[in-house]
Amino acid sequence: MVLSPPPLPSAAVGIFKSICFISQCWNSQSAKPNTHVMLLQAHLKWRCDSYIFRLYRRVLPSPPAIDFASPEGKQLFIEAIQGGTMEGFFKLISYFQTQSEPAYCGLATLAMVLNALSIDPGRKWKGPWRWFDESMLDCCEPLEKVKAEGISFGKVVCLAHCSGAKVEAFRTNQSNIDDFRRHVIACSTSDDCHLISSYNRGTFKQTGSGHFSPIGGYHAGRDMVLVLDVARFKYPPHWVPLTLLWEAMDTIDDSSGFRRGFMLISRLHRSPALLYTLSCKHESWIKIAEYLVEDVPKLLSCKDVKDVKDVVAIVFNSLPSNFLEFIKWVAEVRRREDAGQTLSPEEKERLDVKEEILKQVQEIRLHKHVTDFLFTGKSREKESPCLCKESCLTDIADSLCCQGAVFLEGNSNGYCCQKTCVKTKSNGDVAVTVVSGTVTNGIEVQQVEVLVPSSLEMHPATNDVLTVLLLALPPQTWFGIKDEKLLKDISSLVSIDSLPTLLQEEIMHLRGQLYILKRCKDEETEEDFGAPLV
């Protein structure tokens, strides 16, 4: 989306051209510029410039749109409620927001939908509150670039994935108007799915070009949709014919060269990550994603690998040193003052699931091969932090508490740990391991607790992380192995078909994250999707 200033009033333009003509005629007859004309010209230019910066809303072109607050718009609303196709409206309107920058329509729309779905961002917005805000949606495109140029359809899809939502995205050449109507009705008769539309305003006779907004409802009798325009400083919410919205979406985005479309955003049926998640907050994520998806297959195809140990060594001995900034343990973190004497039912349930997944990781055959690699001398002599052999919980307590403080505060300011301790808390008949620490960033001090996912002091260690990583690599990673028997062995070890359901879902989530991050790195989110990006 490319931004352009609104046109000047025709009268102002005419007067300005007249003054310029008078100035040219007067000055052509005089050796010196006429001061009065120059002052008049400068004054009018200032008034015209002032007009640009003093716009107050726009008159909604009607037809084709119908103002939501007009008598006709209210009647449509009442009839749609009676028809049962405004169920999604109430959650959306509860979190309706105005985009904070002229080019933030995509960010504001997504933040509004994520909040309406009650998806936890996992990091702080302001004060103690975790909440999606435009300023937090920066993992796929720098905010300064979005502020200057807007954001494309593919990058909004990427952002939705990174924010923990389930996304089904369709460009108009992948769908048709009947399917679009079906999706609109499905989202309008439920409050657990919302539809975001990417369209060209010009089709509605509105000023501007590319725009994003959520669809708030549907009127079956008139076949109209309610557009909750996030540029509320410009246009109010309004009804438009569904056929015209389809026409507005079925246009080319000049910045990408591809058609616009729509996306369905909903909650995942489970937490987006229970034990591990990939993070693109650290600047090294691009290099790490490239290594895992591109470099590892090349290394395996050009090296002489004889056994499973060779394969594991090739993958891990060249890992970027800051790899642990890319794959994170999803820890249960709380401030010490917020912690009770016992675990809440929700905390207990999450820890039980984490413990079960961790046990499943440690019980598969691949885990033994990774452990042997780490502890029997196959790993490189100058080990990077990501291949640290220390697995004692007390050894990683400092790092856990610092990460916990960053998580609670929602920023990346460096925290150092002043002191930590590992203790056991009673939770009824069950003992729970808790890492307790005091951390500071030089300005403030935080008292945090990290709940360990097992009463047996079991915790995600390096061999667990690396095992999960191997499982999460794309299946085609191993196709370059020339030894057929070894390829068969590796394929069996990394296959997720026979894994328990919880672990299988965990791996599929990580694979999906890696796929999306790779596409964002290569700008492939702007390619014409061969199939809906789910």
Active centre residues (catalytic) = 105, 211, 229
Tokens read off for 72 = 């006709």
Cα 183 from Cα 193, distance rounded (Å): 10
Q: How far is CA 65 from CA 153, 203, 458, in A?
A: 24, 11, 60
3-class SS at 532? coil
The DSSP letter of residue 482 is: -
> Phi-psi region for residue 58, left (φ > 0), alpha (ψ -120 to 50) or beta?
beta
DSSP conformation letters of 99-123: -SSTT-HHHHHHHHHHHHTT---SS
Q: What token pair was written down for 185?
A: 């009705």
Q: How far apart are CA 216 and CA 234, in angstroms?
A: 18
- Helices 462-472/345-363 angle, 10° precision: 80
Q: Is the peptide bond before 64 cis (omega within 30 degrees of 0)?
A: yes
From CA 300, how far away is CA 288, in angstroms rounded? 17
Are 109 and 210 contacting, i.e. CB atoms less than 8 angstroms apart? no
User: What residue type is 461 in one-letter code?
Assistant: A
DSSP assignment of 359-400 equals: HHHHHSHHHHHHHHHHHTT-S-SS--GGG-----HHHHHHHH
- Pairing of β 210-219 and β 193-200: antiparallel
Give the up-direction half-sphere exposure of residue 120: CA atoms within 13 A in the CB hemisphere.
10
Residue 297, H or E segment = helix 296-302
Contact by Cβ (8 Å): 156, 263: yes
Which of 5, 71, 57 is CA-nearest to residue 208? Answer: 5
Phi/psi class of residue 327: alpha, beta or left (left: φ > 0; alpha: ψ in -120 to 50)? Answer: beta
How many angstroms separate the CA atoms of 363 and 373, rounded? 16
The sign of the dihedral angle between the CA atoms of 21, 23, 24, 28 is positive
Residue partners of 215: CB distance under 8 A and separation at least 6? 184, 187, 188, 194, 195, 196, 197, 225, 226, 227, 228
Note whether 217 and 225 are within 8 A (CB).
yes
412 burial (CB, 10 Å; 0-12 / 13-18 / 19+) is: exposed
Peptide bond just before 63 cis, omega within 30 deg:
yes
For the chain, give me the number of helices (H) and strands (E)? 18, 17
Q: How many residues does the chain have?
A: 534
